[in-house]
């Protein structure tokens, strides 16, 4: 595979060569940047990569509505969770307000990815949890 005139042996090599715009030291990747990186890694065009991302998100959304979770093998899991009702404070008026129950989608990283990023520990907080046991 060749990206920016350089030979790449793996997908991760090609992703390192793709240039991303950086505005004010921003760390998050935009959808367009993700499409460009995916297109470069798979040697397809940006439109095909965009269709792939849209299809993946539609399938995940459909699966979450049906089963409450969507598993992306080797990557992680999207899980539907309910947040409890709680009391908040309006910062402008300093009045207490009631925040209702809300359903949200959370992402849980797969174990192989956790060990890849954080070593043999399961998460950065696992040492703190073990010290209290």
pLDDT tens string 87-119:
999 999 999 999 999 999 999 988 888 888 777
Which whole number is the average pLDDT over 16-37? 69
In angstroms, rounded to a whole number, what is the distance separating the alpha carbons of residues 106 and 8?
34
Q: Quick one: DSSP state of residue 30?
A: P
What is the structure's pLDDT at 133? 40
Cα dihedral 118/121/127/129 (nearest 10): 110
- In the predicted structure, residue 18 carries a pLDDT above the cut 90: no
CB atoms within 10 A of CB 122: 13
The pTM of this model reads: 0.59
In angstroms, rounded to a whole number, what is the distance separating the alpha carbons of residues 108 and 86?
24
Q: What is the pLDDT of residues 60-92, one digit of tens each?
A: 999 999 999 999 888 899 999 999 999 999 999
Cβ proximity of 76 and 51 under 8 Å: no
Q: Is the C-alpha dihedral spanning 11, 26, 57, 114 positive or negative?
A: positive
Cβ proximity of 69 and 77 under 8 Å: yes
How large a percentage of the chain has pLDDT more than 70? 69
């Amino acid at each position: 595979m060749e990206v920016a005139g350089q030979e790449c042996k793996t997908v991760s090599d090609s992703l390192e060569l793709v240039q991303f715009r950086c505005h004010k030291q921003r760390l998050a990747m935009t959808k367009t940047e993700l499409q460009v990186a995916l297109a470069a890694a798979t040697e397809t065009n940006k439109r095909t990569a965009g269709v792939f991302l849209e299809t993946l998100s539609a399938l995940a959304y459909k699966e979450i509505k049906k089963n409450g979770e969507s598993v992306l093998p080797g990557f992680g899991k999207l899980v539907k969770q309910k947040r409890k009702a709680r009391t908040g404070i309006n910062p402008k008026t300093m009045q207490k307000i009631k925040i209702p129950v809300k359903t949200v989608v959370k992402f849980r990283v797969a174990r192989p990815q956790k060990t890849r990023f954080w070593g043999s520990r399961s998460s950065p907080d696992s040492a703190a949890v073990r010290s209290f046991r």
